[in-house]
Every structure is written in C-alpha cells, then in structure tokens.
Amino acid sequence: MDTFINLFTNGIATGMAIFLLAVGLSIIFGLMGILNFAHGAFFLWGAYVGTWVFGRTQSFFLALASAILAGALLGVILERTTISRVFGNHLSQILLTMGLMLVLGELVKVVWGPNMLTSPPPGFLEGSWEFGGIVLIKYRLFTIVVGLVVALAVYILLTRTRLGIIVRAGVENPEMVQALGIDIRKVFTMVFALGAGLAALGGAIMGPLGGSISPTMGLDNQLLAFIVVVTGGLGSFVGSLVGALLVGLIGAAVSWFVPEAALAVNVLLMALVLLVKPTGLFGGGNI
C-alpha cells in the first residue's frame, strides 16, 4: 500500500511539473501554430534562475517569482526578435526554435557551468507528514498543489476572461480575430510570455523535486512535454492536463516495476496514440 501511495504521489507530482511545461507549449501551438522547440529552454532557465535565487536569498517564493519573470522576459524577447519573423512557415519555425534551444542551453553552461548542481527544497517543505502509516513527502504535495492552482488559474483565464475568449477564438481563426479589430500580434506575444513563464515555473519546481539540475534537463523534459501534448492533443488544455498526469503516473509505475522501460514506455504511448488518433486524445475539442 505504501509503495502505491508513494508511486501515485510521485507520478502526480512529476505530471504536474510536466503539465506546467506542456500547457504553454500546447497553447502556443494551438494559437500561433508554432511548434516551439525552444520551450524546454525556458524550463531550463527557470530551473537555474530559481535555484540560483533561492541559494542567494533563501526565499523560495522569491525564487519562483524570479524564475517566472526570467522565463516570461526571455519569451517576449525571443518572440519579438526572431520567432515573429517566421510565422506561417513550419519548416523555418522548427529549425529556428531548435537553434534557440541550442543557444540558450549553451548559455546556461556559460553562466552556471556544465556540471550538475544540487537543488534543495526550502526548509519548510523538507521532510514528510505521516497519516496513519502513510508517508507523504511534503515537497511532492506542494508541487501537486501548485500544479492544481495553476491549472485552475489557466482554466479560468481561458474560459472566463476577455483574453481567454480572444485566445480561444484565435486558435479557431486568427484572421477573423484580427478582422474584428484585435491586435492579434499583441495577443501572440502575451500568450508566448505566459507559456514561457509557466515553463520556467515548471523548471523551478522540478529542481527540488529531483534534487539536482543539469543543462540537459531542458531537452529531456521537453521530449516529455511533446509526448504529453501529442498524447493529449495539441492546443487542448484538458489534453495537456490528462496527458501530463498519464505520462507522470505511467512513468512512475513503470520505473518502479520495469526500470529498463521507463522512458521507452512514454515514447511508445505517444506512438500508439498518434497512430490510432493523429490529433491526440482530446484534439479538435474546445479548450
């Protein structure tokens, strides 16, 4: 029983961190049609900025806030200077964002060195609680709570606010939104910044969850995020959430029972879903 609770919370916690990465990726693709291969770089920078600020100030919330800010800022800069130049050209978009990923990944090595760094959780989230023989690790619960809060916030943003309506309309038909007198370019930049900020938050949270950060974590987790959005359906909020939880839980379970197949099973899951339903589980839906 203990093992299952452990696997379950671990799976959900990892899934939540991946969800933060995946939801931005998904919305950016849905709205702008951009497959953002640089998304993992925001995650990576979030992890490093978060760990660095936490090490300096010992304030975890300041660390999370600065990670989000750094991610959003990077997102705005990249969107304005480079990505906006290749709208509509899929080949160039993939090539360009892959190059951005490469450069941002190397820059991390310039600033913080190429080796792994330890990333401790804050004092008040260390250790675990025990309820009637069931051990719950505090930081995992924290991750799950943050993930749920963000998921709820994004959901409300998408369904209850003017920006959300514009974004959802933009996913359906950007030209029509433009024709209605809304500056879709501004919305693009905003959404891009939002997605990048969320990815950076995911990175900052993922650091203490694994205990260490390294320059390869961007690309590694980006692959997971791709698997999540493809499985769930690109552009679908619910798809990202379900896909992330699915990938997190399956990953945790398989790495416990058949460690050899841990990463492979996610890839196989995506391949299977793509072959059966090329738009993903929730693709073509509304949110």
Is 219 an interacting residue with respect to another protein (CB under 8 A)?
Answer: yes
Positions of E strands within the chain: 117-118, 128-131, 134-137, 212-213
Specify the residue, 41 or 146, whose C-beta has the smaller distance to another protein: 41
Specify the residue, 152 or 264, whose C-beta has the smaller distance to another protein: 264
Q: How far is the CB of 233 from another protein (least distance, A)?
A: 11
Specify the residue, 123 or 259, whose C-beta has the smaller distance to another protein: 259
| H-helix segments, 33-137 | 39-57, 60-81, 90-112
Question: Any bridge partners for residue 134, and if so which?
Answer: 131
Of 217, 214, 225, 211, the closest CA to residue 266 belongs to: 225
Q: Which of 62, 65, 76, 94 binds another protein (CB under 8 A)?
A: 94
The kind and range of the H/E element at 125 are: none
Chain centroid to CA 207: 13
Q: How far is the CB of 11 from another protein (least distance, A)?
A: 19
Specify the residue, 15 or 280, whose C-beta has the smaller distance to another protein: 280
How far is 68 from 250, CA to CA, in rounded Å?
Answer: 28
Vertex 195, ends 122 and 138: CA angle to 5°? 25
How far is 195 from 8, CA to CA, in rounded Å?
Answer: 27
Q: How far apart are the first and last CA of the chain?
A: 36
From 11-19, 95-103, 199-207, 248-256, span contacting another protein (CB under 8 A)? 95-103
Specify the residue, 1 or 110, whose C-beta has the smaller distance to another protein: 110
Binding string to another protein for residues 34 to 53, with x set by CB under 8 A, is what?
Answer: -x-x----------------
Specify burial of residue 143 (Cβ count, 10 A radius: 0-12, 13-18, 19+). buried
Specify the residue, 29 or 192, whose C-beta has the smaller distance to another protein: 29
- Give the CA-trace dihedral at 253, 259, 265, 267, to 10 degrees: 120
Residue ranges in 255-274 that form contacts with another protein under rule CB under 8 A: 260, 263-264, 267-268, 270-271, 274
Q: Quote the tokens at residue 50.
A: 């978060």
Specify the residue, 35 or 134, whose C-beta has the smaller distance to another protein: 35
Q: Quote the tokens at residue 75.
A: 């997102």
Binding string to another protein for residues 149 to 188, with x set by CB under 8 A, is what?
Answer: ----------------------------------------
From 58-66, 104-112, 170-178, 203-211, span contacting another protein (CB under 8 A)? 104-112
Binding site for another protein (CB under 8 A): 29, 35, 37, 82, 85-86, 90-92, 94-96, 98-100, 102-103, 106-107, 109-110, 114, 219, 223, 226-227, 230, 234, 260, 263-264, 267-268, 270-271, 274-275, 278
